[in-house]
Structure formats: structure tokens, C-alpha cells
Amino acid sequence: MLPKGKTLFFLTFTACSTLAYALTPTARTQAADFEISARDSFQSRVSLGANKQDGHYLVTWSDLARDRMNDVNIYGRLVDANGKPVSKDIGIATGAKGQAISAVAYDQHKKRYLVTWSDWRNATTVESDIYGQFVNANGSLQGKNFVISENRAASQKDVAVSYDPVRRQYLVAWKHGSSKGPELIRARYITADGRAKGDEFQVAEGKGKQDRPSLYFDPKRQRFLVLWRDTVDGHLEKTTAIRGKGIFSMFINPDKPHKAAPGKLIDIEDDACLPTSLYAAAYSPDADVFMVSWTTGRDYQKLGLDSWGAIISAETGEHMVKPFAIARANDYQEFPTVTYDRHNKRFLAVWYDLRRDHGARNADIYGRFVDASGKMSDEFVISDLNMKGARRFPVVAYNAARDSYLVFWQDQRLKTPERPYAKIFGTVKAGSGVK
């Protein structure tokens, strides 16, 4: 069983004039919404890894089975570019005491995925560790679950992972600390065979609260971009002259010893009400920029929570387009994520949206296209508006071979008083180049 209170962290939700241009929203439904797994379970917090060689995707999620209602595990399933399953459900991490909230990266050389997650199997109170598991391209497990980081004096969670195809290694990052002391972003390199390469290192300076890291590989400069949320403490106030909660970025070059530094500010909120959503980014090789997306509470009293974005230079990290509203309709627009469409040279930003039902019983998945200059198409609905229930926490990937987008999310359309289901659903949207 999980330590007391630990099943709640993946079940709870955040409680804390858009510019429109002539980028035609040409995406159209290629297939109806489809269910990923028929497991009798509460499924949440989906993650996605892409095998571009085969056009397959590993969809992973936190899974709370009805016959083990206090023990969450990590499950996954392979699907093709049309969303059709190409494997059975895969029990990736099913140990005692619980595993939850996964992140996935794909190694095209070894032809396998690395799935990472927070793990309580060794916990005596609230401490969690970071574990990993290799999943082969055919869906079989390669080896057993292995430790990436463990520390009995602190907790490790909020894991992120990305793969470096040049050096053929992974970078894994996570939040290290506890609610009673500093919480800092730490990271370490993992070889393609699952061995730790060097010691763990601290990503950014700070003595306060850092969390929600995300990682992306820059193929041009062969380095990683790391994003995180930072409750700006006295140390950073002296070095950056800012206060509140902010989104920061930093580049990590694997060929150079890393030295913790304050990081570069992307956005700040003086009232410290920045929600705990994950921060997402995607790289444009055409414009050599990253688009970053996040949830903001800057207009909370008037509009609730909104999805915002920024365009930053992949070379310097400086703003190319300052923070702008992606979605700010009345009520909540949360957990934005983003992918890059090389064929049409644009980003697709996706989020979950409560504008249909202010009571939060029904939430939908929305999207819009954004180019490298920040110009946006009209918003469009991705999930089925005829379905009842809340759809939350989307992930998205672009398939260049088919010029199509795959979107997955947590869906409660099957929820009943007797069975409070949440399932992972998805859909495929075709881009403008499909013949």
C-alpha cells in the first residue's frame, strides 16, 4: 500500500484577449476518439514516447486497479500512427507500495524506450525514489525495474527524461527534497544500458522550492533544455531582482561539467499563484527556436487559469516572442502541451478547457496552431463535444510520415457513481498535407 495520502497526488487538480491571425486551422478528424486500454482501473497522467522509425508510440499512464484501490502502478501500450494498438497492455512497474506519474524517451539505436517514474517500494513514510524500465520496440520488457535515484532522507518525484542520440545516453531530471526544506531540481546521465553515468548534480541555484522539471534535446547544438518552476527565494532575489513564482530555463551541455546557476527567466507572477502544471516545449529546426507553454493564474480573479506561451531562442534562451496568451476564455484552460509540425512549419498547442461547463463536470481538449513569430490560428476542439465527462492532462505528438497529430488524454466519459472510471483516450488529427 502507498503511504497515507499518496494516492491523492495524481487524482487532484489545480485550484488556484487572445491574438488571432490567419493561420488556417486545417486539422481535421481522421478517426473518432478511441480508448487505449480496457483495464478495470482509474487511469491518469498519460505520457507519450515516439518511435519514429516504426511510426509507433508508447502510451504510459498511472493505473489504479479496482481490486487494488490503494496501489497505483505504471502501465503502457504500444499504438501505431492511427492509434491502433500493436501490443497488449504492458505492466511496466507493478511493485508494492505504488508507482506513479511516468515520463518516456525513445532510443532509436537500441530500439527501446526508457520509462521513468516516482516509486514508493522502499518508502517507510513519504519518501519516493526515481526508477526506470526499458521497454523494447515490440512491447516486451528489457530487464527489470532499476534505480535511477534513491535517498532515504528526502523524496524524489516530478521526473522528466530525454534522449541524446549523439552520445547515446539519457538525461533524467527530478525534484529532490521535502516540504520542510529546500526542494531542488537534480539530474543525472543514464547510459543506454541503464547504468548511472557520473554522480547526480544540482541543475539550478536556489534554497527554496523548485519543481516540475521538463527536458528537451536540441539536435543542432547537441544539448538539453531544462524547464522548471521556481518559488523565488532570497538567494535568487539577489541574483535576478525578481520575486514570486517563475518559470526558468537552462541549457545543459553533456560535454562540459555542469555548474548550478540561477537560470533564465521565462515568466514570473508576483502573487506566487503560478499553478503546478507541467511546463512543455517543442523545438523548431526551421526557426531554431523553442516554443514553451504553461498554465498561469495572472488573471485568476477575472478569468480563472489560462494557458500561455513564449518563443525563446535555442541559442541564447532569450525571448524571441515575449509571453502571450494561448487560451484565456472564461474559466480554466490548463496543462498546455506543444509539438512541432515540420511539414507545415508550425507548432500545435493543446490544452484542456472548461469553457463548456463552469462546474468542471465537463472538460474538453482544445488546440491551436502557432508559428515561430507567435501568430496563431483560431482555436479548435480536438475531443468530442458530444461526450460527457472531463477530459484532462493531454499529450501530443506529430507524425511527419503521415502529416498527422496524435493526442491522448485522461477521460471520464465512462464514469458512473458505482464506477468512478477515468480512462486514457486519444484521437488522430490530419494536417494539411495529407493527400
The conformation of residue 420, written as its DSSP 8-state character, comes to -
For every residue of 16-85, DSSP letters joined together read: ------S-----EESS--EES---SEEEEEEEEEEETTTTEEEEEEEEEETTSTT-EEEEEEEE-TTS-B
Pairwise CA distance, residues 133 & 115, whole Å: 5
Main-chain phi, psi angles of 384, to 5 degrees:
-85, 115
Q: Is residue 388 part of a domain?
A: no
Number of domains present in the structure of the chain: 1
Predicted local distance difference test score (pLDDT) of residue 276 = 63
Q: Which residues of 105-142 are buried (b: 16+ CB within 10 A; e: fewer)?
A: bbbeebebbbbbbbbbbebeeebbbbbbbbbebebeeb
Q: Tell me the sheet residues that pair with 172.
A: 161, 188
Predicted local distance difference test score (pLDDT) of residue 12 = 37
CB atoms within 10 A of CB 179: 8
Contact between residue 67 and residue 412 where contact means Cβ atoms under 8 Å apart: no
Contact between residue 338 and residue 349 where contact means Cβ atoms under 8 Å apart: yes
Predicted local distance difference test score (pLDDT) of residue 427 = 96
Q: Is residue 373 part of a domain?
A: no
Q: Is residue 421 part of a domain?
A: no
Pairing state of beta strands 319-327 and 333-341? unpaired
Q: Is residue 412 part of a domain?
A: no
Q: Is residue 126 part of a domain?
A: yes
CB atoms within 10 A of CB 274: 25
Instruction: Please report, as a single letter, which amino acid is at residue 250.
Output: M
Pairwise CA distance, residues 232 & 240, whole Å: 9
Contact between residue 268 and residue 254 where contact means Cβ atoms under 8 Å apart: no
Structural domain including 144 reads 6-19+38-357
From start to end of 94-128, where are the E strands? 99-107, 112-119
Predicted local distance difference test score (pLDDT) of residue 13 = 36
Residue recorded with cell 515516439: 50
Predicted local distance difference test score (pLDDT) of residue 232 = 65
Query: pTM of the full predicted structure?
Result: 0.90
CATH number at residue 64: 2.120.10.10
Q: Helix or strand or coil: residue 342?
A: coil
Q: Is residue 247 part of a domain?
A: yes
Q: Is residue 100 part of a domain?
A: yes
Q: Is residue 370 part of a domain?
A: no
Instruction: Extract the C-alpha cell encoding 363.
Output: 472538460
Pairwise CA distance, residues 353 & 95, whole Å: 34
Return the biggest CA–CA distance within the chain. 57
Predicted local distance difference test score (pLDDT) of residue 35 = 95
Per-residue pLDDT of the chain (435 residues; tens, 9 = 90+): 444 444 433 333 333 433 333 454 444 444 589 999 999 899 999 999 999 999 999 999 999 987 665 689 999 999 999 999 999 999 999 988 899 999 999 999 999 999 999 999 887 766 899 999 999 999 999 999 999 999 877 889 999 999 999 999 999 999 998 767 788 999 999 999 999 999 999 999 877 788 899 999 999 999 999 999 887 654 444 455 555 678 899 999 999 999 998 889 899 876 545 566 678 999 999 999 999 999 988 776 666 789 999 999 999 999 999 999 999 987 789 999 999 999 999 999 999 999 887 766 889 999 999 999 999 999 999 999 889 899 999 999 999 999 999 999 999 998 877 777 899 999 999 886 433
Predicted local distance difference test score (pLDDT) of residue 5 = 42
